[in-house]
Amino acid sequence: MLRMAEEAEGPASAAAVAHWLRRQPEAFRVHRYAGSSAPVSFMAILRLDAPLPEDRAEDPVIAAVWDLVEAAAPLGPGEHLGIRRFAVQPGGHQRPSPLMELISRRTIAEEMTSHGRAVTFTVFEDADRWGGYLAKAGMPEVAAVDVGGLRQHVFGRDWRRQTVEQWVQHRARTAVTPVATRPATASTSGPGDQLPPAAFEEGVLQALRTWQTPREFATSVLLHSHLVPSGSPDPVADLRGAITTALDAIQIDPAGVKAHEALTATYITALRTHKAAARRLGVPYGTYRRHLALAKERLIEKLLRQPATTSTLPPPHSSPEE
């Protein structure tokens, strides 16, 4: 675990891991692939009910968290705070993946079963990637801390202002909002008309990055594009189908075979690192990167040119109870 932490986040983060392994070993969860004994990632959800000098000294993130709590909303009797301090995945650190999905689900499960938790925090290096998602989930950024030269971003939620039950109900409602409120005329305009080109391109790249976690598609901007027919009973399935069709079209073009292989190995079969994908394809890393860049360009081009689709099915019926 210390080796993984140092590889992913550097020696200062590894020193913090070592401290918490001594203090709260029960807080750690180590992940392995089925059939293997080698750890591939780990997480820690710390439970803290009092600021201790040694914790502040050994972990600057915890020092910043306690400063926030004591200044804004001190803990009451019987209350504690929880912080998902580490989410370490060497090779593809904190990028969307099945491992990060597992870490996220374990974190949510911890929140749902904890008693007396007043405040929750989670820590990410890549605030650009995760900040928007966490803000929508009710966890805005509350601090940024330097740890050994790396910026660690802290996101927080106060459960005393919104209970877990209220949060679950809110998330259930908002999870379907992008589909329910998409314009009824989405399929009547030309390809790509519903989104600016930059937003469409980013939507395609985000779809690739989250291919292994289909639930993320429920908030994709591409649901508002010509790729999804108006009134579709299953917009996510239609979107994934459109991307798969375009991906297959790249393979048909003889010049695009290597590009298709690079894209498939990187995102669809989701090898753990880009270097592993290059090894799978049997090409130098630089050649693999060129194939991957070409594949992304061709996929976006084909999706932009894909004809708008229409649905012959009526929109799904929802009763007041639903």
Instruction: Summarize pLDDT for 94-103 with one digit per residue, the tens.
Output: 776 777 777 7
Return the exposure string of 177-200: e unless at least 16 CB atoms fall within 10 Å of the residue's CB, then b.
ebbeebeeebbeeeebebbeeeeb
pLDDT of residue 56: 93
Average pLDDT, the chain: 79
Query: Of 68-82, 183-197, 238-252, which range is least confident?
Result: 183-197
Asked whether residue 310 carries a pLDDT value surpassing 80, the answer given is: no
pTM greater than 0.85 (yes/no): no
| pLDDT 10s digits, 20-65 | 999 999 999 998 888 888 888 899 999 999 889 999 999 999 999 9
Ranges of beta strands (E only) in the chain are 28-32, 39-48, 80-88, 117-124, 141-147, 150-158
Work out the burial of residue 59: count CB atoms within 10 Å of its CB; fewer than 13 is exposed, 13-18 middle, 19 or more buried: buried
Domains and CATH numbers, the chain: 2-171 (3.40.630), 179-305 (no CATH)
Secondary structure (3-state) at 161: coil
| pLDDT 10s digits, 252-304 | 655 566 777 888 888 877 655 777 777 877 888 888 888 888 888 889 988 98
Q: What is the DSSP letter of 26?
A: G
DSSP string for residues in 207-261: HHHTTT-GGGGGG-GGGGSTTS-TT-S-HHHHHHHHHHHHHHHHHHSGGGHHHHH
Return the exposure string of 264-284: e unless at least 16 CB atoms fall within 10 Å of the residue's CB, then b.
bbbbeebbbebeebbebbebe
Please say whether the beta carbons of 43 and 111 come within 8 A: no
Query: Of 38-42, 83-87, 92-96, 310-314, which range is least confident?
Result: 310-314
Q: At 73, is the pLDDT very low, low, confident or very high (cuts 50, 70, 90)?
A: confident
| pLDDT 10s digits, 153-187 | 999 988 888 777 777 776 666 544 343 333 333 33
